[in-house]
């Protein structure tokens, strides 16, 4: 292809992929293999020593997965990417790169309930501690910094509440402190928001959601911007000090702005093993090809549904940054000019019981624990995704007892509105 910049839509279809050199196949093949034959002993040695790029074993690298990694990195404006088995695996791999016992990081308290549990409970078993702050005031992160803090983590668009993080302001705080800024961009996708352009050093995704887009493939991704100087602080010794398993190789010294990407494959995937299956990579590659078209329809449908709910007598509030009067309207215009996405919450006047009744009475919406599908989805977080939290924690996370979350799909908007109308009337 010509050496010139291409549009997002073009890159969503072509980035990272070429016709298969062996067969001419235009779609990326599914390389369903565990291992790869070496040319000779010297070739094998150079691969194991990280002196040559190539394939050894599919726990580390796979040609189908490699295409997906390059495509996601390209769309996010990153230097490289590591694709893994799930969004939670992506978060684990990202933090594994630089955390050690006794280290801490700061995270927004407006996160997916599973992330709150992973950070607050499971990570504690590794000796990693997370401090949760209200991201609606970026200065809360500055006030919570300690000498042990190594990163700040937020969601660009919070799940489930749809709150929008002030990425540029938080990035400035991270830069002043000399620490990493990590953004989960799952809810927006790179079509609606590109956190690296606003100062993020690393982006994570659950590719299960909008990137795959069809509710048929699990996966996650870590995208490294290549802009963080790992050598400026002893906090990030994993990438700067000699690695015994590779004969004293120093990742940052050897690989420069690809240090984190190479480490993620050579150490993270090698030792933790959260490998993405080639079939899931293939399905996600296919899904990304229609990402721009899907997101446009998602956004339009969600706006129509949110407007309907805002005027319904059974609804006390709607948290959608595209509605007039939203406290996040200015941030939405800045960071998500194409729309705020299709996942949002609303509160029912009848509280917990009304939320349970609604999810049981819809007919077109599917009651399940996922977002980002072509189909419209509904869930009552307090009884499902956030039920492991206390009521106080649920409320702080935007998932109180009266809250219902929607992921608005690609159906006819009028049909979705009618389904909600009948279900609310039945309550």
pLDDT one-digit tens code per residue, 292-341 = 999 999 999 999 999 999 999 999 999 999 999 999 999 999 999 999 98
CA distance 46 to 56: 11
Distance CA 112, CA 405 (A): 12
Residues 6 or more apart whose Cβ sits within 8 Å of residue 311? none
pLDDT higher than 70, residue 2: no
Residue spans in the chain of domains classed CATH 3.90.1150.10: 291-426
| Separation CA 28–CA 344 (nearest Å) | 34
CATH 3.40.640.10, the chain: domain bounds: 8-287
pLDDT in tens, 232-286: 999 999 999 999 999 999 999 999 999 999 999 999 999 999 999 999 999 999 9
Q: What is the pLDDT of residue 384?
A: 84
Class of domain 8-287: alpha beta
The structure's pTM equals 0.95
What are the pLDDT digits (tens) for 363-401?
999 999 999 999 999 999 888 877 777 788 787 777 889
Distance CA 104, CA 146 (A): 8
Residue 1: band (very low, low, confident or very high) from pLDDT cuts 50, 70, 90: low
Q: Dig out the tokens for 387 from the structure.
A: 């039920």
Nearest of 110, 113, 87, 116 to residue 223 by alpha carbon: 87
What's the mean pLDDT when you consider all of the chain?
Answer: 95
In sequence order, which ranges of 118-215 are alpha helices (DSSP H)? 139-144, 167-177, 189-192
Share of the chain above pLDDT 90, in %: 90
Q: Which two tokens stand for residue 88?
A: 């939670």
Question: How many Å apart are CA 312 and CA 324, to the nearest integer?
Answer: 16
The CA distance from 251 to 172, in Å, is 26
Question: Average pLDDT, stretch 58-79?
Answer: 98
Domain 291-426 part of CATH 3.90.1150.10 = yes
Bridge-partner residues for 160, per DSSP? none
């Amino acid at each position: 292809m010509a050496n010139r910049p291409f549009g997002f839509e073009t890159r969503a279809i072509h980035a990272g992929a070429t016709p298969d050199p062996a067969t001419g196949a235009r779609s990326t093949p599914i390389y369903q293999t565990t291992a790869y034959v070496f040319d000779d002993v010297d070739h094998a040695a150079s691969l194991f020593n990280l002196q040559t790029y190539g394939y050894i074993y599919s726990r580390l690298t796979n040609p189908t997965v490699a295409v997906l990694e390059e495509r996601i990195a390209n769309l996010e404006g990153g230097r490289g990417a590591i694709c893994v088995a799930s969004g939670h695996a992506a978060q684990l791999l990202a933090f594994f790169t630089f955390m050690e016992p006794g280290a801490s990081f700061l995270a927004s308290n407006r996160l997916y309930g599973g992330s709150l549990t992973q950070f607050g409970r499971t990570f504690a078993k590794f000796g990693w501690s997370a401090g949760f702050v209200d991201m609606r005031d970026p200065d809360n992160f500055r006030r919570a910094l300690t000498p042990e803090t190594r990163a700040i983590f937020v969601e660009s668009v919070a799940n489930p509440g749809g709150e929008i993080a002030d990425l540029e302001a938080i990035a400035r705080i991270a830069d002043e402190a000399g620490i990493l800024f990590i953004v989960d961009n799952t809810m927006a996708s790179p079509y609606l928001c590109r956190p690296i352009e606003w100062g993020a050093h690393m982006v994570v995704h659950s590719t299960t959601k909008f990137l795959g887009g069809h509710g048929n493939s699990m996966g996650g991704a870590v995208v490294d911007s290549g802009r963080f100087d790992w050598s400026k602080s002893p906090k990030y010794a994993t990438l700067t000090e000699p690695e015994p398993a590779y004969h004293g190789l120093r990742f940052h010294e050897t690989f420069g702005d690809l240090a984190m990407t190479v480490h993620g494959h050579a150490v993270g995937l090698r030792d933790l093993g959260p490998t993405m299956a080639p079939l899931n990579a293939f399905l996600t590659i296919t899904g990304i090809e229609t990402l721009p078209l899907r997101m446009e329809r998602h956004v339009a449908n969600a706006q129509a549904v949110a407007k309907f709910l805002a005027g319904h007598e059974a609804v006390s509030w709607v948290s959608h940054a595209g509605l007039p009067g939203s406290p996040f309207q200015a941030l939405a215009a800045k960071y998500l000019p194409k729309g705020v996405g299709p996942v949002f919450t609303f509160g029912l006047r009848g509280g917990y019981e009304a939320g349970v009744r609604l999810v049981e009475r819809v007919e077109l919406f599917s009651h399940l624990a996922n977002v980002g599908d072509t189909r419209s989805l509904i869930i009552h977080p307090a009884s499902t995704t956030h039920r492991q939290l206390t009521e106080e924690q649920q409320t702080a996370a935007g998932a109180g007892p009266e809250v219902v979350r929607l992921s608005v799909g690609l159906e006819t908007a009028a049909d979705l509105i009618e389904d909600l109308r009948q279900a609310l009337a039945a309550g």
